[in-house]
Structure 1
Amino acid sequence: MINAISPWLLNTNSELNRLLPRPAIERTALDYRFNIYMMGDSCWLVASWPKGSRIAFRLAYSPGDEFNLKVKETADGLSVGGNCLLGKYQINIQLPSAERPVLRMTTSLVPVSPLLFPFWPRDIVPLGAADSDLLALGKVHVQQVGSRSGQLYFSLTRPSAGSVLYLQNLTALADYNQQTETSAANTVAGEWPEIGFALPPTIKNKPLEAGKAYVLSDAFVAFSQEVPANEPAMVKQYLDLLAAIYLALPRPETTYKPWPDILKKGLADLIDSPGCWSQVDGNHYFNAYVCDYATPPEIMVQLAVLLPLQDYAEWSGSTVEVIEKIRRGLPAFYDEKLGTILRWHPKLADQLEGEEEQKKPLTMDSWYLHHPLLNLSRLALKGDEIAKKLFLDSLEFSIKVAHHFKYQWPVFYKIDTLEVLKAETQPGKGGEKDVPGLYAHVMMQAWELTGKKRYLQEAEKAAQKLHGLGFELFYQANNTAFSAGALLRLYKATKKEQYKNLSYLCLANIFKNVQLWDCNYGHRQNVPSFFTLFPLSDAPYSAVYEEQEVFCAFHDYLRHAETEEIEPSVRLLMAEYIRYLSDRAVYYYPPMLPKEALQEKPKIGEVDPRLWIALEDLHDGWEQNGQVGQEVYGAGNAFGILPRHYMQVPDAGLMIYTDYPVYGFAPKKRPPVKFRLAGDGRITSRLMVVKTGDKLPDIEVIVKGQQEPLKGKPAKGGHLEFLVPGNAEVTIKF
């Protein structure tokens, strides 16, 4: 079936076929042929597969004009430039090579006068075979949603040529967006065959300045000659193409953030701020949001903070009194009659007014049953007897619900009758599709805790329901990440390849929902956003709680994968998400943001710009942040980062920080310190020797395979900074 098309596409297809023998220039790279054509008001680059199929990329556009730009060959590609009615165009093209198998096309314009762009055409036209006027048929697997990556992943199915991942480096458009007060959201999309990137229209009468250069496009394209035959092949192809583009993409620099100091501020505000607390029956509970007294305490909120606090207490060897305060109140959430924990505190559940669908006493959001069970199981495996009892006593109910819904959960149901209250997220979209993976994780935890094979079998039954969901699997980011970890563990337990492939499916869904660009305009200027992850598939903002949990889940996945053969693209992308989260997570705290970037009257509770309690939500640059509220259950942010990225060497008066995860560090072993970094050796990570005593001793950092020790750079605070390749074995002598 061919979708309806415009006259412009028909004319472009016909004209390019007519011009086929007369390109302005032709080059070949990695068996692909690249031709440049000047066609009326557009300049095109046509890429041809070895088997003859073609796709055209619009490099420049000047409505009603006649292009006659000059083309020059360069060391790694082509340079196209010249004047037109709009001004002066400059186009730089880097052709793919064995070292960098990615096409890059960058277009800049210096306007001749102040310019408004009320319309701009999309820049990709699939042309089909060279000897036919039949348009190409294809399928779009992934496209940009909101302010996620400016990506388009599609396959050409007539003629069967292969697949393409197109990614627009939206970071490069910051000057355009700032000047025109436009957003880069929803700029890469379209319905087949009219697809690609289109500049956001300038509808606020904010023109581009005359005489100033603006980047109008910075596109990266990775090609494959394969049309994936099945879901696992599609997932691996997407991850491999994404990793190839990622390595070619200009990536922002990170900086060291002093997480020990940040944690101290956050812990003090968490404990001392009355707005973070409620009291019921003599027990203390965290509010979900600062000064949110209308909503009863939720068990998910208590555990979402308790687990990171426990991680920090174990790492630091200190007593964190607030942990015991929260633990004492957990049994109140258990319902003896139903045989399960409940979402809301039973004593206050009747106060719910139903202003939101899920805010009713016996309404259960499907993932809200399993997420607290998962955290209880993690506490139980650490030896917590209260958590162990609550977890084991609730397991039968959890299994009953899974069987009732046949391992395919709706959005909302009544916990007492299991009546479905809301079956689908949207009509025809199904329910919470990643909950089978979350349930499988709970069952894997139960198997580890009890050794009963019944739970392993339950995990396998649930995992089967993830087959065939493709890029629609993702409901909520943290649950999809937990699913990936459960499936990897299921693979390790059973040696069934399908579970490893399903774990990749979960990860591909996560990386589909990230932002591989820096929103450096409006309120987000100088506030890093590269590699941000969005909590829901259609969420308009990123959220601290989901990001922190994905961060921890990725650490866990890589730990389980340490001795396993997994895709290099997976190791690369997971480690890089962790690296960037460690850099930018501090900007969820209101004191790190300008006051004008904060919402004064959020949806829930209050926003106190002085508190080191994270905002739930960070938005596109033209929107204020904290519109939902200041999220107490996002307080695990610093408590999750510190224990995973700081290695203590107290006898030497120092800590070792890395922004990649590490394997093999033994905290009680005598010097020298040895460990191995995760990640990819083609990317450099940061290693900081952090001073905790009066002064640092003499330090020598040695990377296995390199003859000379690394040279460190003095850093603020008396620390010492080193740049180390990923996947390196490191020895530190002092």
Structure 2
Amino acid sequence: MGSVKADTLLFRSIHSIIQFARTVNYDFPVFFAYDGYRKISGSEPDVAGGYAYLMLACYDLTDNSLYLDEAKKAIQHIRGKGLNLSYELQMSGAAVAAGGKLYRITGDADYLKLSYLALANIMRHCWIWESNYGTAVDYSTFFGMSPMPSANVITMKEQYETWDYLREFLNTAGPELPADFKILLQGFIDYTPNVLFYSLPPNLPEGARWTSKSVYDSQNDNSMYIPYEDLRDGWRKSGQIGQEIYGAGGVLSIAAVLKTSVEEAGEKRMPETIVLHQNFPNPFKTITTILFDVLPDNRSRKRMIQLKIYNTLGQEVRHLRKGQTAPGSYLFQWNGMDQTGRYLPGGVYFAVLSSANQTIRKKIILMR
């Protein structure tokens, strides 16, 4: 695998974890004593899924069936938990991904059912509505996720980790998933970057930020792009719990994944002449940004490019760009108005970018 010291440290740690899991019979406690792995109190049922995911990662590294067998045993312990599986939602996300991997390895569809159970628990705690009241008129909470069943907030760390697990599950088990499951998964994946954008204090309207000391007696620095531990709805100011250092890497992780995805997609579809990116934010209420690229061809010449907004009836409502356009990146903003300056009703619209030989469409959701 690489460094002998790293291998030794990793697998000594792993075997201690296996010993602990077997001692507690895969019913992981909230509090326990290190000496003898004695359970003190509490239970985190979804950690059995996180443990299964860890064992599968070890199996991928070593091809040792010991780890595969551990994963199979552990994930059975989420069975029967119904909608009370989740303790921390990112562990439920790991359970979803672990079930998908086990299904892919074994062909046993029962593992997919266990993934569905964990996914149902995640969706139970998602904000599948828009908090378009109070200060949230100027930011989005749609498809945010509470980090724990008892926490009525949105948190960077838990949601971006869950986002990564669900992306993996969709790639692993996607062809076999029912259509409605795919819609839910894709909704969570598409909207998570938009929601978490607003967990960064400078991106929130000033009136939505907590300026007093946090519940932990810390003071927020609202000029720094360190996420709040609590993005809230429009009636409550965000940041009352403080800023989370351990979630600060979420933005970089999501950005790296999205950038790689765009580059890979571009490689697969070459030769393209234009690329239309998803507008941001989406959904939006007051203004949204649309970015497109004109790619150089072998002559790097200007081309006729048009960017228009259409409604669901196929009617053009706004013309944002028409003209000869040189290779490069271009940014336009749309304020939800039609060509005459009238506010359009809330609903679904489409940004359509076209050149002489290519047309690309992206869905835009306008909230009113």
TM-score with structure 1 setting the length:
0.38
Partner of 2:182: 571
Partner of 2:111: 499
Cα distance in 2, alignment partners of residues 445 and 578 from structure 1: 22
Cα shift at 1:690: 4.3
Asked if 2 retains the 8 angstrom alpha-carbon contact of 1:481 and 1:553, the reply is yes
Cα shift readout 1:282-321 (whole Å, capped 9, x = no counterpart): xxxxxxxxxxxxxxxxxxxxxxxxxxxxxxxxxxxxxxxx
Cα shift at 1:558: 1.5
Cα distance in 2, alignment partners of residues 720 and 495 from structure 1: 47
Select the structure of larger CA radius of gyration: 1
Cα distance in 2, alignment partners of residues 532 and 619 from structure 1: 10
Question: Of 231, 246, 249, which residue of structure 2 is paired with 1:633?
Answer: 246
Cα distance in 1, alignment partners of residues 252 and 167 from structure 2: 14
Question: Of 419, 431, 439, which residue of structure 1 is paired with 2:38?
Answer: 419
* Matched AA of 2:226: I
Partner of 1:452: 64
Cα distance in 2, alignment partners of residues 461 and 483 from structure 1: 13
Is 1:437 the counterpart of 2:49? The answer is: yes
SS of equivalent residue, structure 2 residue 271: coil
Is 1:538 the counterpart of 2:157? The answer is: no
Cα shift at 1:700: 8.2
Do the aligned partners of residues 421 and 501 (structure 1) sit closer, same or farther apart at CA in structure 2, a change above 3 Å counting? same
* Matched AA of 2:40: L
Asked if 2 retains the 8 angstrom alpha-carbon contact of 1:665 and 1:673, the reply is no
Cα shift readout 1:349-406 (whole Å, capped 9, x = no counterpart): xxxxxxxxxxxxxxxxxxxxxxxxxxxxxxx8xx788765543221110110111011
Partner of 1:665: 265
Cα distance in 2, alignment partners of residues 700 and 570 from structure 1: 37
Cα distance in 2, alignment partners of residues 387 and 671 from structure 1: 43
SS of equivalent residue, structure 1 residue 542: coil
Partner of 2:21: 402
Do the aligned partners of residues 698 and 448 (structure 1) sit closer, same or farther apart at CA in structure 2, a change above 3 Å counting? farther
Cα distance in 2, alignment partners of residues 568 and 494 from structure 1: 23
Cα shift readout 1:122-171 (whole Å, capped 9, x = no counterpart): xxxxxxxxxxxxxxxxxxxxxxxxxxxxxxxxxxxxxxxxxxxxxxxxxx
**Normalized per residue, which structure has more strand?**
1
Asked if 1 retains the 8 angstrom alpha-carbon contact of 2:232 and 2:238, the reply is yes
Cα shift readout 1:693-731 (whole Å, capped 9, x = no counterpart): 9x9964889xxxxxxxxx99549x72379748xxxxx99
Q: Tell me the C-alpha RMSD between the 2 structures.
A: 3.5
Cα shift at 1:581: 1.6
Asked if 2 retains the 8 angstrom alpha-carbon contact of 1:595 and 1:609, the reply is no
Partner of 1:464: 76
Do the aligned partners of residues 699 and 606 (structure 1) sit closer, same or farther apart at CA in structure 2, a change above 3 Å counting? farther
State how 1:341-356 maps to structure 2 within 5 Å: none
Partner of 2:346: none
* Matched AA of 1:405: V
Cα shift at 1:638: 1.9
Asked if 1 retains the 8 angstrom alpha-carbon contact of 2:90 and 2:158, the reply is yes
SS of equivalent residue, structure 2 residue 265: coil
* Matched AA of 1:614: P
Cα shift readout 1:423-475 (whole Å, capped 9, x = no counterpart): x2xxxxxx101011000000100100000011111101011111111111111
Do the aligned partners of residues 603 and 697 (structure 1) sit closer, same or farther apart at CA in structure 2, a change above 3 Å counting? farther
* Matched AA of 2:258: H
Number of aligned pairs?
305
Cα distance in 1, alignment partners of residues 291 and 34 from structure 2: 49
State how 1:258-337 maps to structure 2 within 5 Å: none
Do the aligned partners of residues 668 and 530 (structure 1) sit closer, same or farther apart at CA in structure 2, a change above 3 Å counting? closer
Is 1:689 the counterpart of 2:292? The answer is: yes
Do the aligned partners of residues 601 and 491 (structure 1) sit closer, same or farther apart at CA in structure 2, a change above 3 Å counting? same
SS of equivalent residue, structure 1 residue 508: helix
Cα shift at 1:478: 0.8
Cα shift at 1:670: 5.6
Cα shift at 1:533: 0.6
Question: Of 242, 256, 263, which residue of structure 2 is paired with 1:643?
Answer: 256
Do the aligned partners of residues 402 and 555 (structure 1) sit closer, same or farther apart at CA in structure 2, a change above 3 Å counting? same
Cα shift readout 1:178-220 (whole Å, capped 9, x = no counterpart): xxxxxxxxxxxxxxxxxxxxxxxxxxxxxxxxxxxxxxxxxxx
Asked if 2 retains the 8 angstrom alpha-carbon contact of 1:543 and 1:616, the reply is yes
Cα distance in 2, alignment partners of residues 473 and 509 from structure 1: 7
Cα distance in 1, alignment partners of residues 273 and 74 from structure 2: 42
Partner of 1:483: 95
Partner of 2:311: none
Do the aligned partners of residues 474 and 714 (structure 1) sit closer, same or farther apart at CA in structure 2, a change above 3 Å counting? farther
Is 1:611 the counterpart of 2:224? The answer is: yes
Asked if 2 retains the 8 angstrom alpha-carbon contact of 1:514 and 1:534, the reply is yes
State how 1:191-210 maps to structure 2 within 5 Å: none
Cα distance in 2, alignment partners of residues 699 and 567 from structure 1: 41
Question: Of 115, 127, 135, which residue of structure 2 is paired with 1:515?
Answer: 127
Cα distance in 2, alignment partners of residues 603 and 528 from structure 1: 24
Do the aligned partners of residues 632 and 513 (structure 1) sit closer, same or farther apart at CA in structure 2, a change above 3 Å counting? same
Partner of 2:208: 597
Cα distance in 2, alignment partners of residues 672 and 572 from structure 1: 28
Cα shift at 1:415: 2.1
Is 1:561 the counterpart of 2:180? The answer is: no
Is 1:586 the counterpart of 2:186? The answer is: no
SS of equivalent residue, structure 2 residue 196: helix
Is 1:393 the counterpart of 2:12? The answer is: yes
Cα shift readout 1:83-129 (whole Å, capped 9, x = no counterpart): xxxxxxxxxxxxxxxxxxxxxxxxxxxxxxxxxxxxxxxxxxxxxxx
Asked if 2 retains the 8 angstrom alpha-carbon contact of 1:487 and 1:500, the reply is yes
Do the aligned partners of residues 609 and 690 (structure 1) sit closer, same or farther apart at CA in structure 2, a change above 3 Å counting? farther
Do the aligned partners of residues 720 and 571 (structure 1) sit closer, same or farther apart at CA in structure 2, a change above 3 Å counting? farther
Cα distance in 1, alignment partners of residues 63 and 247 from structure 2: 33
Cα shift readout 1:598-651 (whole Å, capped 9, x = no counterpart): 222013433001111111111232222111111111112221222222358xxx
* Matched AA of 1:632: I
Cα distance in 2, alignment partners of residues 469 and 699 from structure 1: 58
* Matched AA of 1:459: A
* Matched AA of 1:398: I
Cα distance in 2, alignment partners of residues 581 and 525 from structure 1: 18
Cα shift readout 1:659-694 (whole Å, capped 9, x = no counterpart): xxxxx736498634899x9xxxxxxxx98434799x
Partner of 2:141: 529
* Matched AA of 1:626: G
Any stretches of 5+ residues in structure 2 without a counterpart?
278-288, 307-317, 323-328, 334-349, 353-357, 361-368
* Matched AA of 1:411: V
State how 1:234-245 maps to structure 2 within 5 Å: none
TM-score with structure 2 setting the length:
0.73
Any stretches of 5+ residues in structure 1 without a counterpart?
1-379, 425-430, 649-655, 658-663, 678-685, 702-710, 725-729
Do the aligned partners of residues 389 and 602 (structure 1) sit closer, same or farther apart at CA in structure 2, a change above 3 Å counting? farther
**Normalized per residue, which structure has more helix?**
2
Cα distance in 2, alignment partners of residues 405 and 674 from structure 1: 56
Do the aligned partners of residues 591 and 674 (structure 1) sit closer, same or farther apart at CA in structure 2, a change above 3 Å counting? closer
SS of equivalent residue, structure 2 residue 37: coil
Do the aligned partners of residues 647 and 692 (structure 1) sit closer, same or farther apart at CA in structure 2, a change above 3 Å counting? farther
Do the aligned partners of residues 499 and 690 (structure 1) sit closer, same or farther apart at CA in structure 2, a change above 3 Å counting? same
Cα distance in 2, alignment partners of residues 409 and 696 from structure 1: 62
